[in-house]
Amino acid sequence: QVQLVERGGGLVQPGGSLRLSCAATGSIFSINVMAWYRQAPGKQREWVATIERAGSTNVADSVKGRFTISRDNAENTVYLQMNSLKAEDTAVYYCNMRSSVSDYWGQGTQVTVSS
């Protein structure tokens, strides 16, 4: 059974940084796309960033220039480096991994940006 295990959330002051990681455990075959989403209280889940297997990336305009997504294909792990964090970045962050036949989600990790 495949599980996505997220780490790295927490409380940080505005302007600070956090690095999230998400590792897939279990038998997972040929992940094509890895992505991060987030959901703030009272809002719908929104897309944050995507990275393709070959390394091409795309990030939402709201985090462009502040967040960086990267991946380790050998370890089936995706990272989200978050810099210059703002209060509006407060949310539960979810990782997502997709192959040609499957779609997996992590359990979510809370990121709170507050002074």
Question: So what's the pLDDT on residue 27?
Answer: 73
Residues of the chain with pLDDT under 70: none
Question: So what's the pLDDT on residue 28?
Answer: 74
Place of tokens 């359990």: 107
CA dihedral 48, 101, 70, 50 (to 10 degrees): -30
Q: Environment class of residue 36 by beta-carbon count within 10 Å: exposed (0-12), middle (13-18) or buried (19+)?
A: buried
Question: So what's the pLDDT on residue 36?
Answer: 98
Question: So what's the pLDDT on residue 17?
Answer: 98
Residues 6+ apart with CB under 8 A from 31: 24, 53, 73, 76, 97, 98, 99
